[in-house]
Amino acid sequence: MMSHSLARIDRRAPRACMFALAVLAGFSLAFPTAQAESLPERTELGYDVYFGGQLIAKASATVDWSDRDYRIGGKIQTVGFTNWLTEYRGDTESRGVLNGSGFTPVSHRNFGSFRGRERLTEVRYDTQKGTEFTVEPEPDWSELTPLPDNPGQGTLDPLSTVIALAFSMKDGAECRGSYPIFDGRRRYDVVVEPAAPRALEGGTYGIFSGEAATCTVADFRRLGGFRLEGSKYAETARRRDAYVAKLGPEGLPVPVRIEVHTDYGALVVHLTRYKGQGLDLMLQQES
C-alpha cells in the first residue's frame, strides 16, 4: 500500500519541478563574454528530474535570442508512477528586449495542468502602465498569505531573474545577488551566492563529467501569495544548489545538475541533452 508520505511528496513534486525549470531555462544565457549577436541563436537543453531517488519528470528548455530580443521557454511532464498519481504538465515562457548593458522583460507566461485542472498566469511589463498580471482561475485568497501592495513593482519574473544573474556574471564574476521576484501569484526575494566548486561524475544519469561551479540559493524570503499551510518539504530545504559548467570549448555554461535537499528527500535534476554552438549531446540510455 502506498504511504501518505509518498503521496504528499508526489503532490508537491510539480511545484518543485517548475522552480527547477525556471533556473534551467534562465541559466542557458549564463556567462556571455561577448555581444549577443556573437552567441548562438538557440540552445536546447533536456533534463531528467528525480525526487527521493525516483524519476518523476522530464523537462526541456529552449533559448532563442538575437542582438535585440530573447525568448526563453520550458516544458515539463511527469512520468511513470508519478504521472499516474499526479498527471502534471507545465509550460513556461518569458520574452524580453536585450541591449548592450542588460535587458528589459516584456512578458511572462506560466501554464500548468494538474490532474486535468488547468491554471494560467500571465505577467506583462509596460514602461507606462507598470507591471500587470492575470491569473486563471482566481486563487482562493483565504488560503494564502496576502500579497503586498503593487506586488509587481520593481520585480522580475522567475526566468528573467536568472538572466539578471547571468548578466552580472558575464565578465567572470561569481554568482551573487539579491533579486525581487513576482510570478503573477507569489511575491518573494531570492539571494544567490557562490559556493565551492564540485567534481561531478556522469554516465548513468547525466552527460556531464568534471568540475562545475556552484551557485546556491542562500535565502528565500516569502513575501506573499504562499499557502498558509506551508509545505514541510520547502520549509526543511537545507540546500538549493545549481552546478554550472561548459560542455565543449565553444559551449555556453549551463546547469549540469541541480539539487534541493530536504528532510524528506532530495530533488535532483540531471542534464541529459545539450544542443547548441556545434554540439549535439544526449545521454545514452542503457538497454
pLDDT of 257: 93
Measure the CA–CA gap between 196 and 119, rounded to whole angstroms: 39
For the chain, the domains span 4-282
Q: Is residue 197 reached through a cis peptide bond, with omega within 30 degrees of 0 on the bond before it?
A: no
- Under a CB-based contact definition with an 8 Å cutoff, are residues 248 and 277 in contact? yes
pLDDT of 63: 82
Residue-level pLDDT, tens digit, the chain, 287 residues: 333 343 444 445 555 555 455 445 444 444 443 344 444 468 899 999 998 888 999 999 888 877 788 888 889 999 998 888 888 898 999 999 887 777 889 999 999 898 889 999 999 998 888 899 999 999 898 999 999 999 998 899 988 887 777 677 666 667 888 999 999 999 999 998 999 999 998 778 999 999 998 988 888 899 999 888 766 656 666 778 989 888 877 666 788 999 988 777 888 999 999 998 788 889 876 54
Q: Which residues contact 51 (CB under 8 A, 6 or more apart)?
A: 9, 10, 13, 16, 82, 265, 266, 267, 268
pLDDT of 94: 93
Nearest to 153 by CA among 131, 186, 179: 131
For residue 242, what are the β-bridge partners?
A: 215, 258
Provide the residue type at 16 as one letter.
Answer: A
CB-CB neighbours of 142 under 10 Å: 6
pTM of the entire structure? Answer: 0.83
pLDDT of 108: 95
- Sole residue written with cell 531517488: 53
